[in-house]
């Protein structure tokens, strides 16, 4: 069995998405709020799939890199989220309609939980604003809970 190298795994996250999309003339996607929010939520969901596969395939050798990988990956997902304009509600409606409220909320809570643990409170504040916005939009009766 091949050993896992954290350097090789982290190289996967080095390239910026703008570089990937620019040659394909899809650069505009990187400024579309609906796309950015979807990328964040789906990315967090995909992490858990990748994590499960990696644990099954590499066992203990993966476990020692799990937290570093998760942190780096979640920081990348936050970069998508951080670009979302909170003054436009359409992307939130579109994303919740497409992925479901629970999926969006759970993914953002997982992201925030890691950042609380890391004490990245400015990132937590952004996520909290988005969670509060979602709650006001979809469950106004629970907006103050």
Mean pLDDT over each residue of the chain, to the nearest integer: 85
Q: How far is CA 63 from CA 69, 73, 87, 140, in A?
A: 10, 15, 40, 41
Whole-structure pTM value? 0.78
pLDDT at position 98 is 94
pLDDT at position 36 is 93
pLDDT in tens, 89-123: 898 999 999 999 999 999 999 999 999 999 999 99
pLDDT at position 47 is 96
**Residue 105 C-beta-side C-alpha neighbours within 13 Å:** 13
């Amino acid at each position: 069995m091949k050993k896992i190298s954290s350097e090789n795994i982290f190289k996967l996250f080095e390239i910026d998405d703008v570089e990937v999309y620019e040659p394909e003339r899809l650069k505009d996607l990187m400024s579309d709020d609906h796309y950015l929010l979807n990328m964040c939520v789906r990315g967090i969901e995909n992490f858990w799939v990748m994590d499960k596969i990696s644990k099954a395939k590499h066992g203990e050798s993966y476990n020692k890199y799990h937290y570093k990988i998760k942190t780096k990956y979640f920081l990348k997902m936050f970069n998508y989220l951080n670009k979302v304009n909170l003054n436009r509600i359409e992307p939130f409606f579109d994303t919740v309609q497409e992925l479901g409220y629970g999926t969006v909320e759970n993914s953002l809570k997982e992201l925030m939980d890691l950042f609380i643990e890391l004490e990245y409170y400015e990132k937590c504040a952004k996520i909290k604003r988005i969670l509060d916005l979602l709650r006001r939009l979809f469950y106004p009766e629970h907006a103050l809970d």
